[in-house]
Structure 1
Amino acid sequence: MSTHDPHIQELITLKTIAETLNESNELTPMLDVVIGKLLELTGLTTGWLFLVEEKRTHEFVAGRNLPPALRREDDEPMRCGSCWCLERYDDGRLKNAVNILNCKRLDNAVRYQWGDTEGITHHATVPLRSGSRRFGVLNVAAPGKLHFSKEELALLESVAYQIGSAIERMRLYAAEQRRADLFARLGEYSSALGAYASQAVSRAELTEQVMSLLGRYFDWPVAALLEPVGQEITLRALYSEGQTTLPHAKFPLADMARTNPDAVKRSAEPGGVPDAQQLADQLVEKGWVAPIRRAVAVPLTVASDSLTGMLLVGYDQYGDQHRADMEVIEAIAEHIGMTLQRIRLEENRRELARMDERNRLARDLHDSVSQTLFSLVMMSKGVGGMIAAEPHEQKSLLQDTIHDIQSLSQSALKEMRELIMQLRPPGLEEGLMTGLKQYGERLKLHVRTHISGMQELPRIAEEALWRIGQEALNNVSKHADTKEVTVALSLQNDEAELRIEDQGRGITKQRWKELTRHSIGLSSMRERAESLGGQFRLYSVHREGTIIEVAIPLRAVTTEKGGITDDPIVNS
């Protein structure tokens, strides 16, 4: 049988292409070799191939014998801009091999005098696919060839289908290799995170370490921990460009992530990627990260469907790499959620132990030291009466001594009562705002109060706001150089916010630097808020006053499911 028979030549072509495709598992070199073989077997001179991952995006991955006009400046005409064949591919009109009447890239080469086109004006375009999946387009041409026959187009379609199947096979193979590698890294990551979590002092440190380890063990260019807070999404921690930061920035977003955990789960699926991409686009828009081409987000849920946060992973290139990564990303999110939950519960346990110890100490001080001091005051008064009958020359000296004893004992008794009040505040029996107002008045402050909303505060939240309010009022009394202060409490269904504002002298930049490093009071206020999954902010302008804002999520307190927390002090 003659090899010049078109059908025999077609079989030879398909057999040779199939053998070539099976010789390599590296995609780009394989595609270049296949185009060369195809040109050799068909008598065509020029061919090139685009891979398309997303609409309006393409990658020039292989080309053989391109004319000088298309090779200029490192193939710039092929890498940049679109063309008619890609536009047809994007809008779904390119379903089979077709003749392109002329080539936009070649037209531009002639119009803008980019160089010699070697007589090529037209080409055939073939979509690359495997089953329902599409991968890009293959173009072939020859000088002076203006039309391809049906037989030629049918052969090109068969070759394109072989190439598409090979691309699918290679990607599946690469995905399996990557999945195996990621699971190995996951084991190392889990071990490292567990070791650190056992020694972590606060969730702030643990959250930062979570992201640092993520960057150490995995190759994702961007990773972020986000948390729904009220009507906003808060960026708690970010890994990008090899660094971990805690921006604590907020941005509004549709309620899809805040109210519906299933929507976040769907964001990891092909149909739900726009939700994750919307989150990523916010990060890019704010300038926190470089452009993210693909993003996936999975929820941090523990023991229920209650959404406490999200792990977002971003890629700087288009592609389906996320498909191989999803199982590992979900496992990481689950591990992070459990780790943060564990340390939150441990912090709550320690806080309850501290509260019990304070109450015990308050009772002991009241029953022992306070009573002893009171007895000392009464005894000194009695002795003062007894020495009234002493000779005049001794009476004056004794009276002075007794007076000193009375003054010291009364001062000690007053300080002891203040200490007992600090340990076991009686003002809370009448409510948080009444207690803060009375406490401020004892500090000689004029306290204006304002309450909005009706909501019963959990005991642990009320205790935390009381302690923070005490410290804030003490700071006003000692440092603000004003007696006027406003205390406002806003109660909502899911959050309680305490705001303490004065119009005093504020904080200088130099003093601010010292406070952020050494202030125990500010640190304690921030830690109390964070221990309940809340946020602490301080705004201060020199000579204009200071504002302290504390927000505690009541959902997290009442259900014992806190989120990822660590809001900084902010100086404006």
Structure 2
Amino acid sequence: MDDVEVRDELRDVSAAVLAVAAHLSVRDVLTTILTSARKLVGARYAALGIPDEDGGFAEFLADGVSDEEWAAIGPLPRQHGILGAMLCDPNPVRLANIREHPHFGWWPRAHPKLTDFLGMPIADGDEIIGELFLANSCNPGGFTAADEELMRLLAAHAAIALVNARLYEHSRELSIVEERDRIARELHDAVSQKLFSLRLTADAASALLARDPARAAAELATVRRLAAEASAELRAIVVGQRPADLDGDGLDIALRKQVELLDRVHEPVIRYAGGGYVPELTEDRKDAVYRIAQEAIHNALRHAGASRIDVVLTEHEGATLLRVTDDGAGFDPVDGGRGLGLASMRDRASDVGATLAVVSEPGGGTSVRLVVPA
């Protein structure tokens, strides 16, 4: 192999590795591993199996066959033949003729006829987390030792990408569970208590209606007030769950839209100041800024009794600065503030390397200041 061929091969390997590592979805990672492997060694057919807990395949992807051919082949392979044997063997298998393998059994009538074969495990430590199967080399002489080394290299990087994708999807699942728990707490704390009070007040008004109409009317006024407060709390929770289009709109526009929406559905005046230059942030930092702003605004709406809330996004000494201030009741940051989401905001800030400061005092309003490095 001359220098040009070596450079071309290294470039192809690098492109394949980068393509695999670029995805966070498990399905995308698997598909990219499969197509990259087939292209890298010039195989007519390629397949990728993911083992289940019973010694078979939880998933089985193929490349090089049409949808019609795949449907005609029939059910996924389980534990038979060379594919099943490789699920327990950490060593690669390279054959000039797959039929020569001692575990070769059969294939369905519609299955493509395979000749030369290269099988490579994808392992995370001692655990086999996938198997690559390549068949019918497009190059004269079949698969080579160099092809086997290329697959070994790709499989090592594929294992890292696959584990990372699984961890990412698991973390998203945990985030969804945490978000559901938060919504449940908000519904209980902010709405169900008001509905309970509303029911008791309505019962009292009903009992007083015949003997004391004036007091009954007062109780009904309380019912109207409690119903309005419960409705406002529900609107706040629903608005808070609407996903922000941070990718499409950008942080500045997404924050402006959120503030304008909250200003329409709540009595306090809520204003946003932004639109100037702010440093470019990573996706996780954009999300943290947005969520902390959201939490700070909702705290002011629910707990502060504020008449005005101001949200400012700007650049400060090369960093992104978010300020949310209100003229509400304030609280003692030492003894108070529990239940105001301060711990959640601090956790979000810490996770992205940002600095959060909350300044408040009884009767003096509250200021939330977030500084995010570029």
Question: How would you bin the TM-score normalised by the shorter chain?
Answer: 0.3 to 0.5
TM-score (normalizing by structure 2):
0.48
TM-score (normalizing by structure 1):
0.33
Task: Answer 1 or 2: higher relative contact order, Cα 8 Å, separation at least 6.
Answer: 2
